[in-house]
């Protein structure tokens, strides 16, 4: 069973059990597994827990998919082509990794599988034995609780601090070693799982990574750096890869994929690079256990990587604006609570744990509600209680951060994909045009530009361009965020505050 350290009380706690508690809370189940309310998939629930991309992929990606489906040579539907190289795609991946400062000889050792999940399994297969320990920071992606359990390795969540954006630091790692390894409570770790950018929008700078690299070398650790949020950095920010630092390239496997920046979550494709010996084992794992990386997925991923930069820049700009919006709305909830009570509680009900610099979500500290009495008489103890309260009373679903290594009332707000289904209306014409051009060019490769335009017009397909600016495309998502906080979360917070006025007055 994978475990993680309960950094508040010391004893080892059950990571899988806490993941299940979080999953049950967002699914509308009570502590006994009984359905008591709507869940995060219900249509009338505003979900702040989903984690897909912010909008549909660029129309050129859709066109590449159409071409790949129709192609009977390179992308045949009826042949086993999962092991055939797509040289253009692989060259693009090498360039993408090298652009991040990873040495080209390391960037050229590629692995491609059906999503980052599969690459994690390949990594554990390549470097770990059952019972090996891997360290990660609080705010890690909740899925690795299950992945470590399946791989029979032990996950340890290292306590972090909000003033360092809940990132791993040399100090936090040394404190963890002193507390657990030196005392013999946990055996020396095999490696580190580093999320950079993190799932709550933190970025490691070069100096922070240099300090980590010294620790990693001293303790002879291997590292998986999950960079799935690369190219979602907010304006003015950039990522630095651990493998770009001296001495790290031979210790680090860097993984990325199509789900977050590129809007290809359902295409299921991920890519990695790293030391030759490790990547050979990862690719062996892919070959014998997966066989699912379709040539169509590779064609679409190649188009996504090469899509106009304005598309990604607009997505990042929108997420930056949404992060600022959520911060303002959190402040407004606290103002509403104080106004209703006639005084400000000693601790705000909600507080932004750290400002994100990338990605699609942010951490919210809800410890101002800890200890308050819920309708029915029970007290709020952790993030599952907070999640159940807002889901039951106002049909807003937070992501309880008990699944991410936090044992208090910390919540994760996923704002990126909210309203993403409404972006279809703003890209439909451009997608249709791109797909129609791909179809016509497949039917007649010699068709000229003028003839192509004439045929499109005859089919009633008008000229269209995707909006790369932050405007109506994302308006519905911002509207849903406002609805969640202004009309639902605030109302529920005020009711909870008034019901606990005496407790809050006592401080």
Q: What CA–CA distance (Å, rounded) separates 157 from 15?
A: 9
What's the DSSP call for residue 225? E
- Please write the tens of the pLDDT for every residue from 390-446: 999 999 999 999 999 999 999 999 999 999 888 888 888 888 889 888 988 888 888
The tens-digit pLDDT sequence of the chain (507 residues) is 334 444 433 434 477 888 899 999 999 998 888 998 899 999 999 999 998 889 999 999 999 999 999 988 888 777 776 667 899 999 999 999 999 999 999 999 999 999 999 999 999 999 999 999 999 999 999 999 999 999 999 999 999 999 999 999 999 999 999 999 999 999 999 999 999 999 999 999 999 999 999 999 999 999 999 999 999 999 999 999 999 999 999 999 999 999 999 999 999 999 999 999 999 999 999 989 877 788 899 999 999 999 999 999 999 999 999 999 999 999 999 999 999 999 999 999 999 999 999 999 999 999 999 999 999 999 999 999 999 999 999 999 999 999 999 999 999 999 999 998 888 888 888 888 898 889 888 888 888 888 888 888 888 887 776 655 556 889 999 999 999 999 999 999 999 999 999 999 987
| Token code pair at residue 409 | 């009332």
Give pLDDT, residue 81: 66
Pairing between β-strand 270-273 and β-strand 110-113 as defined by DSSP bridges: antiparallel
31: tokens are 């502590």
The per-residue pLDDT for 5 is: 40
- For residue 260, the tally of other CB atoms under 10 A from its CB is 28
In 3-state terms, what secondary structure has residue 315?
helix
User: Quick check: bond before 197 cis, omega within 30?
Assistant: yes
Residue 449 is predicted with a pLDDT of 83
Task: Quote the DSSP letter at residue 53.
Answer: -
**349 in Cβ contact with 333 (< 8 Å):** yes
| pLDDT for the residue numbered 463 | 74
pLDDT of residue 478: 95
Architecture label for domain 59-75+82-307: 3-Layer(aba) Sandwich (3.40)
Closest by CA to 253, choosing from 296, 299, 285, is 285
- State whether residue 191 is helix, strand or coil: strand
**Pick from 129, 228, 221: nearest CA to 177:** 221
Question: Domain boundaries in the chain?
Answer: 3-54+310-419+473-506, 59-75+82-307
Tokens 């657990």: give the residue: 180
Q: CATH number of the domain at 3-54+310-419+473-506, please?
A: 3.90.1150
Are the CB atoms for 307 and 262 separated by under 8 Å?
yes
Give per-residue pLDDT as tens, 284-315. Answer: 999 898 777 888 999 999 999 999 999 999 99
pLDDT value for 430: 87
Q: What whole-number distance in Å separates Cα of residue 480 and Cα of residue 472?
A: 13
CA dist 110 to 98, 229, 309, Å? 12, 19, 24
What backbone torsions phi and psi does residue 361 show, to the nearest 5 degrees?
-155, 170
Report residue 190: phi and psi, to 5°: -90, -35
Q: What is the pLDDT of residue 292?
A: 72
């Amino acid at each position: 069973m994978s475990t993680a350290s309960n950094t508040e009380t010391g004893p080892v706690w059950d990571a899988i059990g806490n993941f299940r508690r979080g999953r049950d809370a967002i699914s509308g189940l009570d502590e006994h597994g009984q359905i008591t309310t709507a869940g995060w998939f219900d249509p009338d629930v505003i979900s702040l827990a989903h984690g897909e991309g912010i909008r549909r992929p660029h129309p050129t990606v859709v066109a590449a998919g159409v071409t790949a489906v129709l192609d009977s040579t390179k992308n045949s539907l009826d042949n086993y082509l999962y092991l055939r190289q797509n040289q253009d795609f692989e060259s693009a991946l090498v360039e993408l990794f090298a652009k991040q400062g990873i040495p080209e000889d390391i960037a050229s050792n590629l692995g491609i599988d059906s999503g980052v999940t599969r690459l994690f399994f390949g990594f554990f297969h390549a470097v770990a034995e059952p019972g090996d320990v891997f360290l990660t920071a609080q705010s890690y992606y909740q899925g690795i609780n299950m992945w470590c359990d399946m791989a029979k390795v032990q996950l340890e969540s290292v306590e972090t601090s909000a003033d360092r954006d809940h990132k791993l630091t040399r100090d936090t790692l040394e404190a963890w070693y002193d507390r657990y390894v030196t005392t013999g409570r946990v055996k020396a770790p095999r490696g580190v799982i580093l999320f950079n950018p993190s799932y709550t929008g933190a970025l490691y700078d070069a100096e922070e990574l240099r300090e980590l690299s010294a620790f990693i070398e001293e303790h002879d650790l291997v590292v998986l750096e999950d960079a799935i949020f690369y190219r979602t950095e907010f304006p003015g920010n950039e990522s630095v890869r651990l493998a770009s630092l001296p001495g790290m390239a031979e210790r680090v496997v860097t993984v990325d994929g199509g789900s977050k920046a590129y809007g290809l979550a359902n295409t299921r494709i991920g890519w990695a690079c790293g030391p030759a010996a490790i990547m050979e084992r990862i690719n062996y794992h892919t070959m014998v256990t997966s066989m699912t990386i379709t040539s169509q997925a590779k064609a679409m991923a190649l188009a996504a990587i090469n899509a106009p930069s304005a598309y990604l820049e607009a997505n990042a700009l929108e997420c930056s604006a949404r992060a600022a919006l959520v911060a303002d709305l959190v402040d407004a909830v606290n103002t509403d609570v104080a106004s209703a009570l006639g005084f400000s509680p000693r601790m705000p009900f909600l507080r932004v744990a750290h400002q994100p610099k990338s990605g699609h979500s942010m951490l919210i500290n809800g410890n101002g509600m800890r200890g308050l009495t819920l309708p029915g008489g029970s007290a709020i103890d952790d993030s599952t209680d907070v999640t159940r309260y807002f889901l039951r009373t106002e049909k807003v679903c937070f992501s309880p951060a008990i699944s991410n290594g936090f044992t208090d009332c910390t919540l994760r707000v996923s704002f990126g994909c909210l309203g993403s289904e409404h972006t279809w209306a703003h890209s439909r014409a451009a997608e249709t045009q791109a797909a129609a051009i791909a179809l016509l060019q497949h039917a007649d490769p010699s068709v000229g530009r003028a003839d192509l335009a004439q045929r499109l017009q005859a089919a009633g397909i008008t000229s269209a361009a995707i909006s790369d600016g932050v405007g109506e495309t994302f308006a519905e998502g911002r509207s849903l965020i406002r609805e969640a906080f202004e009309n639902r979360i605030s109302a529920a917070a005020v009711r909870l505050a008034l019901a606990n006025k005496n407790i809050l007055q006592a401080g």
